[in-house]
Amino acid sequence: ARLVVLVSGSGTNLQALLDAAADKSYGAEVVAVGADRHGIEGLARAERAGVPTFVERLSDHPDRASWDEAIAARIAAYEPSIVVCAGFMKILGAPTLDAFPVVNTHPALLPAFPGAHGVRDALAYGVRVTGCTVMFADAGVDTGPIIAQEPVRVHEGDDEQTLHERIKTVERVLLVETVGRMAREGWTVTGRHVRLGR
Ligand code: GRF
């Protein structure tokens, strides 16, 4: 399977996919890495791995629709079988969502704590258990059908950074395992229910 991975930040989830894809038995390769901004570690990780990169900034476009069309075209150029959002901080529009399966990862147990501050919101709420979710992206914010989840305990004295780091150690394993199974075994979606495997 051909993966295009979209990033906006440090790219530790991307790095886990790059490391897994180095083993041919994984069944998927990262054919390109896209971002919505320049100068992020995620792009540097792709360059170090010799993977082509592209950047589409919203600010370079007259409106959202133009950006949506542009990023869909950049992704399509690499003919992906799966698009993976790994810390990508934009909502993808119909030009991308209608063309490819888009898998996203979120550092909370959806439907709890969606959005850009899932870790902070869980901590503020006082939950004892949070976690991470791998799901399909849809037109909403973290509302797509859930594919996989893993719980992560909140420790006394956790702050947003310590909790997010603990979640990310679990999240990158869940993302690699889930994307690998999708690539090797396929999946079916019935309503909101996703089943991996043939
Ligand atoms: C991940 O926890 C992702 O779910 C969230 O932000 C983090 C990105 O981390 N949106 P990285 O860029 O993969 O290191």
pLDDT in tens for each of the 198 residues of the chain?
999 999 999 999 999 999 999 999 999 999 999 999 999 999 999 999 999 999 999 999 999 999 999 999 999 999 999 999 999 999 999 999 999 999 999 999 999 999 999 999 999 999 999 999 999 999 999 999 999 999 999 999 999 999 999 999 999 999 999 999 999 999 999 999 999 997
Which residues have CB under 6 Å of ligand 1? 7, 9-14, 42, 86-87, 105-107, 168, 171
Is 92 labelled as part of a ligand binding site?
yes
Query: Where in the sequence numbering do the catalytic residues fall?
Result: 106
CA 65, CA 113: separation in Å to the nearest integer? 27
Q: What is the pTM of this model?
A: 0.97
Q: Which helix (H) or strand (E) holds 1?
A: none
Q: What's the CA angle centered on 155, arms 129 and 120, to 5 degrees?
A: 65
- In this structure, the residue with its CA closest to atom 3 of ligand 1 is 87
Q: What is the ipTM of this complex?
A: 0.95
Give the integer Cα–Cα distance in Å for 142 and 139: 9
